[in-house]
């Protein structure tokens, strides 16, 4: 994916490193030339010096071609402006970092798909939001040691037709990841799963998992059957 990140600070910088390691094309925008130069020297990422609130800078970064735009500056005002401009340029997925909860409604109105609170902000959470749109984090539990996620089973998923027991016992599925509920929106059925419950296409699976395990779990649950 082509990803444009606004802000090359602690969050934006670490996020760009992770995304580059995961083989994505990344460009970072920041007003501080020294920060841009340092990030480029450390990672090789394209770091553009300029304001994330100026349309000409965003066009120089080819934001209109981005698959994902990430607003990760330390300023809610700048992040909000960036989100609005990204939406106006047709970016399909917009992830924003929010410091002040008073901005949340404005972020939603701006067209942001995901708003990550700074109080529970983790780079791994933003990676999840960027790379796994079929995965949604609901809340933290156990003092932040784990989270509850929702994973949507896609059409032709290999996990469709398998039981919860089959999935949980698979070597490809993380052993510490636990099923807590299943919701089928088509049938409007909500259940607490037992081992013999069969997973269907379209099911919304509620899982307890660490941020480190959810990607592996989601990869398994959303993998589709290959055509023969």
Whether residue 158 is found in the same domain as residue 109: no
Whether residue 142 is found in the same domain as residue 69: no
Q: pLDDT category, 134, cuts 50, 70, 90?
A: confident
Whether residue 64 is found in the same domain as residue 79: yes
Residue 82 near residue 54, CB atoms below 8 Å:
no
Tell me the sheet residues that pair with 117: 98
Has residue 10 been placed in a domain?
A: yes
Q: Is the pLDDT of residue 227 over 70?
A: no
Has residue 80 been placed in a domain?
A: yes
What are the tens digits of pLDDT across the range 82-132?
999 999 999 999 999 988 989 989 998 998 988 887 655 557 667 767 776
First to last CA, the chain: 27
Pairing of strands 25-30, 2-6: parallel
Q: What would the DSSP string read from start to end of 4-54?
A: EEE--SHHHHHHHHHHHHTT-EEEEEES-HHHHHHHHHHH--EEEES-TT-
Supply the pLDDT for residue 119: 56
Residues 6+ apart with CB under 8 A from 227: none
Whether residue 32 is found in the same domain as residue 126: yes
**What is the CATH classification number for the domain harbouring 92?**
3.40.50.720
What are the tens digits of pLDDT across the range 5-52?
999 988 899 899 989 988 899 999 999 999 999 999 988 999 999 999
Whether residue 85 is found in the same domain as residue 98: yes
**Domain boundary at 84, 114, 131, which?**
131
The backbone torsions φ and ψ at residue 70, rounded to the nearest 5 degrees and listed phi first, read -120, 120
What are the tens digits of pLDDT across the range 157-198?
999 999 999 999 999 999 999 999 999 888 888 999 999 999
Residue with tokens 């998923």: 157
**Domain boundary at 87, 110, 131, which?**
131
Tell me the sheet residues that pair with 209: 147
Whether residue 19 is found in the same domain as residue 110: yes
Q: Is the pLDDT of residue 142 over 80?
A: no
Whether residue 126 is found in the same domain as residue 157: no
**Domain boundary at 131, 156, 184, which?**
131
Has residue 228 been placed in a domain?
A: no
**What is the total count of domains within the chain?**
2
Mean pLDDT of the chain: 90
Q: What would the DSSP string read from start to end of the chain?
A: -EEEEE--SHHHHHHHHHHHHTT-EEEEEES-HHHHHHHHHHH--EEEES-TT-HHHHHHTTGGG-SEEEE-SS-HHHHHHHHHHHHHTT-SEEEEEESSGGGHHHHHHHT-SEEEEGGG--HHHHHHHHH-TTEEEEEEEGGGTEEEEEEEPPTTBTTTT-BHHHHHH-TTS-TT-EEEEEEETTTTEEE---TTPBP-TT-EEEEEE-HHHHHHHHHHHHPBPPP-
Pairing of strands 204-209, 146-152: antiparallel
Whether residue 61 is found in the same domain as residue 155: no
Whether residue 42 is found in the same domain as residue 120: yes
Q: In which domain, by residue range, is 156 found?
A: 135-222
Has residue 197 been placed in a domain?
A: yes
Whether residue 17 is found in the same domain as residue 127: yes
Residue 28 near residue 52, CB atoms below 8 Å:
no
């Amino acid at each position: 994916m082509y990803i444009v990140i606004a802000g090359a600070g602690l969050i934006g910088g670490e996020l760009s490193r992770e995304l580059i390691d995961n083989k994505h094309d990344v460009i970072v925008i920041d007003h501080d030339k020294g920060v841009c130069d340092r990030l480029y020297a450390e990672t090789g990422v394209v770091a553009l010096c300029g304001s994330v609130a100026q349309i000409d800078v965003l066009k120089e970064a080819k934001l209109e071609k981005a698959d994902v735009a990430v607003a990760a500056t330390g300023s809610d005002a700048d992040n909000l402006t960036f989100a609005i401009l990204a939406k106006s340029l047709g970016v399909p997925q917009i992830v924003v970092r929010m410091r002040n909860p008073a901005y949340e409604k404005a972020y939603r109105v701006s067209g942001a798909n995901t708003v990550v609170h700074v109080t529970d902000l983790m780079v791994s959470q933003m990676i999840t939001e960027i790379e796994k749109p079929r995965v949604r984090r609901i809340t933290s539990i156990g003092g932040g040691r784990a989270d509850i996620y929702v994973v949507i089973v896609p059409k032709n998923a290999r996990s469709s037709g398998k039981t919860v027991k089959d999935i949980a016992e698979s070597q490809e599925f993380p052993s510490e990841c636990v099923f807590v509920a299943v919701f089928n929106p088509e049938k409007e059925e909500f259940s607490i799963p037992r081992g013999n419950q069969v997973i269907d296409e379209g099911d919304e699976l509620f899982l307890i998992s660490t941020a480190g395990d959810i990607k592996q779990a989601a990869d398994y649950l959303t993998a589709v059957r290959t055509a023969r």
